Amino acid sequence: MTDDERDAFLYARPVCRVATAGPAGRPHASALWFVWDGTALWLNSLTKSRRWADIGNRPDISVLVDDGGFDFLRLRGVELLGRAEIVGEVPRRGETSDELAEPERLFARKYAQGRGFQYDGWHAWLRLRPETIVSWDFAKLRA
């Protein structure tokens, strides 16, 4: 995918899969809502989850966003690899944060029809500034 195609794809897809490494390197994958701001992937994660514990011990993650189905030539996706970093209060309760204003606006627009971001005291923000991005779009094989 071109950068513009990749960005449009990441803005539109609703769910990603986050892969972490747990104790003794055991892999763990989980589905999660996310937003892409053009340079970073923002994950709003439960703070009492295996994913959160894994990242606390080893922040290297892989995130997969894909779609397609049974038709090989419709498969496309993006994999983002790097280190997750905790941003803001843990758990998030609504303390003012200039750094979180944009991801929370994007999240509310994507998942709450723009009604505003809801703080629940259970989630907090992770930011992935990808070190590596790999994308594919098998529909381009038709050309």
Q: From CA 117, how far away is CA 127, in angstroms rounded?
A: 17
| Residue 107: strand pairing partners | none
User: Does 81 score more than 90 pLDDT?
Assistant: yes
Q: From CA 85, how far away is CA 125, in angstroms rounded?
A: 8
Contact status, residue 131 vs residue 85, Cβ threshold 8 Å? no
Contact status, residue 103 vs residue 37, Cβ threshold 8 Å? yes
Closest CA to 43 of 86, 81, 79: 86
pLDDT score, position 120: 92
pTM above threshold 0.85: yes
Domain boundaries, the chain: 3-142
Closest CA to 73 of 1, 142, 2, 9: 142
pLDDT score, position 143: 65
| CATH number of 3-142, picked from 2.30.110.10, 3.90.1170.50, 3.90.1150.10, 3.40.50.970 | 2.30.110.10
Q: From CA 61, how far away is CA 43, in angstroms rounded?
A: 12
| Band of residue 117 on the pLDDT scale cut at 50, 70, 90 | confident
Q: What are phi and psi of 139, to 5 degrees?
A: -60, -25
pLDDT digits (tens, 9 = 90+) for 25-44: 899 999 999 999 999 999 99
| Residue 67: strand pairing partners | 76
pLDDT digits (tens, 9 = 90+) for 5-30: 999 999 999 999 999 999 888 999 99
